[in-house]
A and B are shown apart, each in its own frame.
Chain A
Amino acid sequence: MREKRKNNSVKVLLRLLPGTVRPVPLLFLVFIVITVCHGISWGVETVMQQRFFDQAAAMAGGSASFGAALTALGFLGAANVGCQVLNGAGNFLPEVVGGKVLGHQSKEIHEKIARLSPAVFEDTGKLDDINKAEAGKENAFWFVCDFIALLTFYIPYFLFMGWYLFSLKPVLAVVIVIIFLPTALAQLIRMKAFSDLEDESAPVRREYEHYEACMVSREFFRETRLLGGFSYFKRLYLETMDLMQRLKYRASMKSNLFELSMRILTVAGYVGILLLLFDALMKREVSVGAFAAVFNSLGMLYSLMEEIICRHISDMAQNMGSIQNYLNFLDLEERKSERSEEPGWGDIVLTDVSFSYPGAESDAIREVSFTLKKGETLAVVGENGSGKSTLVRLLAGLYEPKRGSVMINGNDTRKLSLGALTARTSAVFQKFQRYQMTLGENITISDRFRSCEERELDRICDMAGTDRKDFEKGYDTMLSREFDGVDLSGGQWQRTAIARGFFRDHDLIILDEPTAAIDPYEETRIYNRFAGIAKDKSAVVVTHRLGSVKLADRILVMKEGRAVQLGTHEELIGQEGEYKRLYEAQEQWYQEG
């Protein structure tokens, strides 16, 4: 078991080492040299102490000169100064190296994410790896540092001390073993005890935290107050608190008692060493100075041993999970990009396209076939969950079909790189982003912050219904309270998102329910303007307000992942079917009388 874990750690280390060292190889070398010196300096300090004590004792006994004692003191002082300087440098350097390396790695993570298929974000397992990669990367760095410190600081120190003790009296070298055993044993069992505690109390803690949230979090505050539900949740809160505390108490008592017994073992070892030393002293095998110096260094030996085992090794073991997340992330398959030149614009042909989300049992899109003609405006309608949003993601090239094919101007989307696929496409998604950036950046981000004249922005904003005069500093207004700017209403955000979609140079534009937060009057105006600009371009409009579909050339009706109807409004309204049913259900609200 131990052997196996060790192998794993070494493997992980070898995997991580190149990426960690590459950004700053020289600094790492300096770091290693310093830590080796640092480790040995503590050993040297003990030796210098012994020399000084011996000289001082000899001086007191009259067998050595004051000058000799003073010289020994000088060496002791020099050793101490050396220790302190190396200690400072040895602790400071990893911080510097860390800052640089972690920044470098974050950059690489961001780039890697951009190369992943967006569908990966729908896969809960892989999403977990992505979300935890950042934390994992940090832990990975400290893992490497800890490992290096183990090899370059702790082991040299213990080797030096072992050698020193051996040279005083061979049997004293056993001291290192006496110190090591109980500490290691205690740590092993402690880790087990705590993971059990975590397993047992985690569900209770989740409940406990939820009940607290029910009373005081923003999400629940208003409703709980108006319902008068405080007492109800307080009761549940106190109940789970009691339960949690009981669990924690039981587990902590167990581990505390255990640790106490381990400590007693440590004390026994300590006393054993003391007696060993004492015996050597009485037999005059070691000098009083050596006795005092070794006795003094015992505290250091113990605390460094605990540092290795309780802090570093246990950190390494605890962080292994999140480091694994990071490694998994690095292994995530990137979207293959055989061709990166743009395919040129034309028809988009879907043939028997099926798509399922990772981990989902059934297909979200089932055998859909149709052609989006160049320059055509297509409306996609259907009930919630009928697959409209998934379909447009396939059209935009964000997802690759599981079965069937999507061809753009005769090019298979699976053979094109993401960049080439999306080069001529713009969109306003249902879940549009509210970038905490300036108004201008919020719009131009869709075309990589392409610089443009204000007139162009004005024109686009006008089309989206955004009025620049609403913003104090015009396009430089920061849209975020957190970063010293202003807050926008839901409707204003939506208009900004529409402007963003319009700004990007495109041949195809997709509007996925872009007007949910906008009032009907405004909505009509936006659609009318949109109809104007979409004339010579392909457009796809997803909506569940059927009224707005009339500006489309054709209408595609989705139901349970299938394309059930396709045609003009007049054609579809004349048939018995899904479209007619939906249309009539809504129309009734707007009939006279």
Chain B
Amino acid sequence: MKRALIETGKTYGFLDFVRIPMRVCPFYTVIKMINQAAAAITPSLQVLVTASFVDTALLIFAGSAEREAIWLPLLGLVLLIAYNNLNWQLMSFINLRSEMKLTRVYRSQIVEKRARLEYRCIEDNETWDLINRTCTDPVGKIRGGFDNLMGAAGIILRVGSLLSILMAQVFWAGIAIVAMSVPLFILAIRSGKEIYEENKEAMKFTRRADYLRSVLQGRESVEERALFGYTKEVNRLWHEKYEAARKINTSVTLKYFIRMKSSSLITVILSLLIICVLLFPLKSGAVSVGMFMALVTSTLNLIQMMSWELSNTMSEIARNTEYLKDLTAFAGLPETEGALDLPKESMTFDSVEFRHVSFRYPGTERYILKDFCLRMEKGRHYAFVGVNGAGKTTITKLLTGLYREYEGEILLNEKPLSSYTQAELKAYFSVVCQDFARYQISLEDNIALGNVLEYDEEKIREAAGRIGLSDVIEKLPEGMRTPLGKVKEKGVDLSGGEWQRVAVARALYRPTAVRILDEPTAALDPVAESDIYRLFGRISAGGTTIFITHRLGGARLADRIIVIAKGQVAESGSHEELLAANGIYAEMFEAQRSWYQ
């Protein structure tokens, strides 16, 4: 097994832009590097060949050489032209190959790392932004970094080789150039960094402007926008932010251009000085006319390169440095051990108990659960009720092992929850959550995902039938095999209610001991919602179920209703007991019931 490309705790540096492709596709990478080097020295070769061509032509004019002598330098010129024009096209084959290989290896490793992350990384907005930044087009970013590095090396090689030819002709001219180029480089490097900082400043305004624009243009806000008629006012706010960002951006761009163009103007002056200096040996005959012309040409070519290529390379370097920081942080994100494992074969369930559990989400102050105690046993039906934000959903996240940093104890079959592997936990609990997944695969596979260990078409059909999907299946063009959603061309999209049934069918098909329904029915009207709860209760008879809801209708079906308030169990008991106790539940129930009297 090869070492992973994404290593936890590793600090990524510029060399990794070479190391990663080197490890994935060494052959192509070496070829690319060799070609890059060759491309960098061709301008120098061209100087030599052009010089020899012009000199030979002049000799022929002077009658001191045969006409045939010209063919060799001419051939050299032709070869150089051919290489210059064909080289990138030939490399594109190599690039294609290496990109495919990188996608297969590097991109899948990134995906895998992402899938293994601890769940809190997904829910934390800042970390999520980091993940998104690092993981969009990862191959392109590695390739970009590689090319950037090669480009920088290429510039150095190109300038260096030209310098050595120059120095071979007039020794001190070379030294003078080196001395004068150093400040130029420093200027270019500095400007790259500064521009990055100022862009960040402008980004703040741009983000705000973009948000306001979405209010002014988006489909979601159309009703309020039309009714409240606030376009004029919000438009003014938008324009303010837009102008603020634009002014910063313009001044940054102006600075960028001034820097870039002053570095090329300096190069122009430098070149003029060199050419001036070269005129003396030309006059004295120490430098031939051909060599003189070739050197002049290549110095002039440097000017354009110094302005665009150098500043682009530098700002790329600044960007890539940021990416490396991101990559280092991403690689360092914590993973959940066994996160990708398949569920274990079915486990027996007796009880689960929360003993004085307190929990707050990482990075937040407020305790969602505080000294929470609850025992649930096999074969019974529970309902969690309570106001929004009371911590109902959090309990399921703890049970399923998504969060593990709680205080107190959770015991599963009298053993600490933390002693179970992810694979075991997956076999104990199934959850249909509020934002259940709408997998754009066939209806059959959507349900089959409930049990990845064993595929049983009969049982799938049965689960679908029991939740009332038979009619839907009949209407689908390819029955259960019809792809759902709009990703596939022949896919059929279901209505919200039908999707909900698919999600519930998936839970029914799961062979877990405990099934949790976490308000998957928010989009349904109360009648349809109660139907689902009733159906689900009947189907899971004998198993253990937990309904989470803030509508009381469905709660009544449970053996035991747990009222959660302020992170604790405020009341618990059967519907009748709780009504008799005349507490929160009774008050909530009364509030709803009063409407029906």
Contact = CB atoms under 8 A, between A and B. Distances in A.
A384 B556 CA distance: 23
Nearest to B525: A544
Interface in B34-79: 50, 54, 57-58, 60-61, 67, 70, 74, 77-78
Given A56-B289, A284-B61, A288-B57, A520 B103 contact: no
B227 A56 contact: no
Contacts of A296: 297, 300
B227 A396 contact: yes
Given A70-B276, A92-B253, A288-B289, A447 B527 contact: no
Contacts of A241: 103-104, 108
Contact of B596 (A236, A245, A249, A590): A590
B25 interface: no
A24 B528 CA distance: 60
Contact of B487 (A113, A207, A445): A207
B111 A288 contact: no
Contacts of A425: 227
A64 to B, nearest CB: 10
A586 B282 contact: no
Interface string B544-560: 00000011110010000
A222 B279 contact: no
B224 A110 contact: no
B449 interface: yes
Contacts of B341: 228
A222 B243 CA distance: 41
Nearest to B123: A218
Contact of A278 (B74, B235, B510): B74
Contacts, number: 381
A547 interface: yes
A586 B219 contact: no
B452 A229 contact: yes
Interface in A549-593: 549-550, 582-583, 585-587, 589-590
Interface in B422-447: 423, 426, 429-431, 433, 435-437, 439-441, 445
A203 B436 CA distance: 25
Interface string B252-271: 01100110110011001101
Interface string A225-246: 1111111101011100100010
B85 A230 contact: no
Interface in A489-503: 489-491
B125 A481 contact: yes
Nearest to B441: A236
A336 interface: no
B224 A432 contact: yes
A449 B230 contact: yes
Contact of B592 (A70, A524, A549): A524
B93 interface: yes
Given A225-B119, A256-B92, A80 B268 contact: yes
A436 B553 CA distance: 34
A520 B550 contact: yes
Interface stretch (A265-273, A319-327, A405-413): A265-273
Contact of A271 (B81, B125, B233, B589): B81
Contacts of A270: 81, 85
A211 to B, nearest CB: 9
Contacts of B100: 245, 248-249
B217 A59 contact: no
A229 B506 CA distance: 12
B86 A292 contact: no
A206 B487 contact: yes
Interface in B285-308: 285, 289, 292-293, 296-297, 300, 303, 307
B233 A81 contact: no
Q: How large is the interface on A (under 10, 10 to 19, 20 to 34, 35 or more residues)?
A: 35 or more
A130 B218 CA distance: 9
A426 B227 CA distance: 7
Contacts of A56: 279, 282, 289, 292-293, 296
Interface string B393-405: 0000000101000
Interface stretch (B142-150, B208-216, B410-418): B208-216
Nearest to A100: B246
Interface string B213-239: 101110111111111111111110011
Contact of A103 (B223, B242, B260): B242
A18 to B, nearest CB: 22
Contacts of A134: 213, 217
Interface stretch (A154-162, A310-318, A511-519, A529-537): A511-519
Given A77-B268, A216-B111, A224-B437, A88 B260 contact: yes
B122 interface: yes
Contact of B89 (A111, A259, A427): A259
A260 to B, nearest CB: 5
B582 interface: no
Contacts of A110: 213, 216-217, 231, 234-235, 238
A85 B233 CA distance: 42
Nearest to A203: B489
B221 to A, nearest CB: 5
Interface string B318-337: 00000000000000000000
Contacts of B197: none
Interface in A248-269: 248-249, 252-253, 256, 259-260, 263-264, 266-267
Interface in B179-223: 207-208, 211, 213, 215-217, 219-223
Contact of A231 (B452, B506, B528): B452
B285 A203 contact: no
Contact of B452 (A77, A87, A228, A419): A228
Contacts of A337: none
B217 A227 contact: no
Interface in A398-457: 398, 418-419, 422, 425-427, 429, 431-433, 435-436, 445-449
A91 B260 CA distance: 12
Given A57-B289, A589-B556, A107 B239 contact: yes
B82 interface: yes
B339 interface: yes
Given A271-B81, A521-B591, A227 B452 contact: yes
B588 interface: yes
| A-B CB proximity, top 10 nearest | A547-B595, A114-B231, A590-B593, A589-B553, A88-B261, A544-B525, A524-B591, A223-B437, A110-B216, A216-B114
20 contacts: A56-B296, A88-B258, A106-B242, A114-B216, A133-B217, A206-B487, A207-B488, A220-B437, A221-B115, A266-B85, A271-B78, A274-B77, A284-B61, A289-B293, A422-B226, A491-B387, A521-B591, A524-B591, A546-B596, A547-B593
Interface of B: 50, 54, 57-58, 60-61, 67, 70, 74, 77-78, 81-82, 85-86, 89-90, 92-93, 96, 100, 103-104, 108, 111-112, 114-115, 119, 122, 125, 128, 135, 207-208, 211, 213, 215-217, 219-235, 238-239, 242-243, 246, 249-250, 253-254, 257-258, 260-261, 264-265, 268-269, 271-272, 275-276, 279, 282-283, 285, 289, 292-293, 296-297, 300, 303, 307, 339-343, 386-389, 400, 402, 423, 426, 429-431, 433, 435-437, 439-441, 445, 449-450, 452, 487-489, 497, 506, 510, 522-528, 530, 550-553, 556, 587-589, 591-596
Given A60-B292, A393-B223, A547-B592, 12 more contacts: A73-B272, A203-B489, A216-B135, A222-B433, A238-B104, A288-B57, A426-B227, A449-B230, A504-B228, A516-B522, A520-B588, A586-B553
